[in-house]
Amino acid sequence: MARLVFVVLWSSAFIAGVIGTDVAPPFLLLFCRFALAGLLLAGIAWVSRSPWPRGKQLWHVAVVGLLMQGVQFAGFYSAIALGLPGGVVALVQGLNPVVIALLAAGVLRERMTRRQWLGFAVGGAGVLLAVSDRLGSSLGAVLLCVVGLLGLSLGTVYQKAFTPDVDVRSGTAVHFLVATPFMGLATLLFETPHVTNWPVFGWVLAWIVLVNSVGAFLLLNVMLHRDSAARVGTLFFLTPAVTALLAWLVLGQTLSPVAVVGLALGGVGVLLATVRRGAPGATGGTASARPSTPVPAALR
């Protein structure tokens, strides 16, 4: 159930991003998002008396925040601002499981089965097929998506390797607070900060702060604490299809037949990579790793 909720919440961020970057520059939107989400989570961490990372661990948490927040969303939101549909951005992000699998196998020494590798290959091929018709006309935006993809993938593996036991509330607060000044500097250097529609900007900001930044990332960090990086990464194969459906329902955007085939292949890749043979309803791959520090019951 947690995985399904995460996919829907994560996918909705692309729809909010399309609407938000239509009324404000991407770095300004991200600056406001990170600042508000960071302060909110810091308050939650303080009230719940969460332990804060210190010393060398704090530096590792800061690196994760810059990668998973700053680099990822700077790339994705800039691509959306250049006109790339939210569904297509989600399709590029769908390569995340493949990148994570390669990094996890080499850095974290997570063991992969042949069935998992086949799933990664099929899912990755599906994503590439789905974005193939965009490579000619929107190459710059696609490259920005790749930058965002690398930020997410590297941040995920780095977090699993160096900060596996950091409290999810205080750790995620640090992620946002570290990325905030960088986005503030970016909007001053590369944009003319302005908002063309304050009511729309307000509700988009509320959504991406409360639902996407706080809800989705807390859930992501909890899952990373409880499971392997590669298995968590396979969930991103599902976000393109869900994003495409939301984009059609909310924005009226449609995908080409080739993109639809790519989405279908991505779904097949998820099944191959996560469903264990001989265990109905179970997910495959490596055994789940329980965190050495307890996860709050409210976040499970």
Query: Residue 297, class by beta-carbon neighbours within 10 Å (0-12 exposed, 13-18 middle, 19+ buried)?
Result: exposed
- 292 pLDDT higher than 80: no
The residue ranges of DSSP E strands in 122-181, in sequence order, are none
Mean pLDDT of 204-224: 84
274, two tokens: 């996560």
283 beta partners: 275
The rounded distance, in Å, linking the Cα atoms of 67 and 148 is 9
The rounded distance, in Å, linking the Cα atoms of 133 and 129 is 8
Domains identified in the chain, total number: 1
Q: Where are the alpha helices (DSSP H) in 197-238?
A: 198-207, 217-226, 229-233
More confident residue, 250 or 71: 71
Mean pLDDT of 88-108: 74
The model's pTM? 0.79
pLDDT of res. 282: 42
- 215 pLDDT higher than 50: yes
More confident residue, 167 or 2: 167
- 65 pLDDT higher than 70: yes
Q: Which among 179, 184, 92, 187 has a CA at the least distance from the CA of 144? A: 92
For residue range 239-262, list pLDDT tens digits in order: 777 888 888 888 887 777 887 888
- 288 pLDDT higher than 50: no
Please, what is the Cα angle at 42 between 171 and 195, to 5 degrees? 105
- 103 pLDDT higher than 50: yes
Query: The tokens 């590439």 sit on which residue?
Result: 128
The rounded distance, in Å, linking the Cα atoms of 144 and 140 is 6
CA 249 to chain CA centroid, nearest Å: 22
- Which H or E run contains 97? helix 96-103
The rounded distance, in Å, linking the Cα atoms of 202 and 217 is 21
275 beta partners: 283
Asked if residues 95 and 124 have their Cβ atoms less than 8 Å apart, the reply is yes
Phi then psi for 173, rounded to 5 degrees? -60, -45
pLDDT of res. 201: 97
pLDDT of res. 137: 60
Residue type present at position 126: G
CA atoms within 13 A on the CB side of 299: 23
More confident residue, 257 or 150: 150
**By residue range, what is the domain housing residue 88?**
2-299
More confident residue, 132 or 72: 72
Average pLDDT, the chain: 81
For residue range 2-36, list pLDDT tens digits in order: 777 888 888 898 899 999 999 999 999 999 999 99
- 229 pLDDT higher than 80: no
List, in order, residues 6 or more apart from 102 with CB less than 8 Å away.
Answer: none
Give the distance between the most distant pair of CA atoms in the chain.
Answer: 57
Q: What is each CA distance from 77 to 85, 147, 256, in whole angstroms?
A: 11, 11, 22
CA 142 to chain CA centroid, nearest Å: 16
pLDDT of res. 257: 83
